[in-house]
Structures are given as structure tokens and as C-alpha cells.
Structure 1
Amino acid sequence: MIRKSLLIAAAGLCLVSSAALASPTCTKEPESKWLSESAMKQKIADMGYKDIKIFKKTTTGCYEIYGYTADGHKAEVYFNPVTAAIVEKNVD
């Protein structure tokens, strides 16, 4: 009985931790309303990010970038593709 409880607790913990690692949802707007990749890349560069690699994530409704901040830190940033607002930012 205790073993079954531990397995259930471990499974629940795995579900919670995997949800925390999932990409955020940035918008539910159709792609026709999204900024083009080139316009988005320019906006991101204007924010000071350098060496940008941009990925269009249609499943989460985000533009995800990998690059560097103005002061040289690695950055992974999720942007709303309609407004160019930062939804989530991870900087090393």
C-alpha cells in the first residue's frame, strides 16, 4: 500500500515538473496577425539582443529566440508574436 502511494506521488511530481518545463503560451491569435519573422527579429535586435536565432512556435503561439543580451549573457526568450512583448525570459 505504501509503495503504491509512493508511486502515485512520484507520478504526480513528474507531471508538475514537466509542466514547469513546458514552453509558455504567448498568444492564441491566428498566424495572419503575427509580425513577420524579419520584423520580429528587428524588434528583438532593437531591444539589445545579439546573434539572434529565432524560432516560430505555432504550437505555443510564440516566437522563441536564442541569443545574447547587450551585456553578453546567453538568453532564451519567448515573445508574443503579435505585440513583441516578452512572455518569458531565461538569461544565464
Structure 2
Amino acid sequence: MRALPLLLLTIACPMALGGPLCTNADKAQWQDQAKFQENLKAQGYEIKKFKVTDGNCYEIYGLDKDKRKVEIYFDPVSGDAMQEEEEEEEEQY
């Protein structure tokens, strides 16, 4: 019976991070942050805020190539988008 609360906490903890777990790879394998951002800008993204999340993701807030407000989590090793959300409300960056 005591295992149930522990199981629930284990399941809920990743949800508390507010984003996905992108990688468990050593940070030596991650793409350089500045180069990664430059690559996104070359693809038409406008980055208002960039950060590394607790889930080992590169996260951006900004505009996509169609000028829509987005929040995107990227795998810092592969560069793949792991989760993307269009922002509907005005958010301060």
C-alpha cells in the first residue's frame, strides 16, 4: 500500500517540470547553444528567450517562420523538436 504513493510521485515528477525529458545524454554530446540558436534563426525563427530546462531540453520562446508565437522544446543532441506549443495569450519574454 505504501508503494502506491511513491509510484504516483514518480509518475507526477516529470509532469511538474512543465516540459518533456529530451535527453539523458552527457552534455559533452549536446550541440553548442550559440550555434544551435543561429541555425534556428537561419530557418526563420525569431528567438525571444532561450533556456536549458530541467528536462535537458533547449527551449525557445519566440516566433516561428510564419511569425506565430511558439514555445518549443528541442533535443539538444539531435536538434529535433520534442514538444511545440503555439502561444495564444500575450506572454512576456
TM-score (norm 2): 0.70
Q: Indicate whether 1:31 and 2:27 are aligned.
A: yes
Matched residue SS, 2:60: strand
Q: How many residues align?
A: 77
Q: In the TM superposition, what is the alpha-carbon distance from 1:20 to its structure 2 partner?
A: 8.0
Corresponding residue number in structure 2 for 1:73? 68
Question: CA offsets per residue over residues 7-48 of structure 1, 9 Å max, x none?
Answer: xxxxx8xx87x9387210111001111111101101222332
Note the residue ranges of structure 2 that are not aligned, 5 or more in a row: 1-7, 88-93
* 4+ residue runs over 6 A deviation: none
Q: Is the contact made by 1:68 and 1:75 (CA closer than 8 Å) also made in structure 2?
A: yes
Note the residue ranges of structure 1 that are not aligned, 5 or more in a row: 1-11
Matched residue SS, 1:23: coil
Corresponding residue number in structure 1 for 2:15? 19
Equivalent-residue separation in structure 1 for 2:43 and 2:75 (angstroms): 14
| Greater helix content | 1
CA RMSD after TM alignment: 2.3
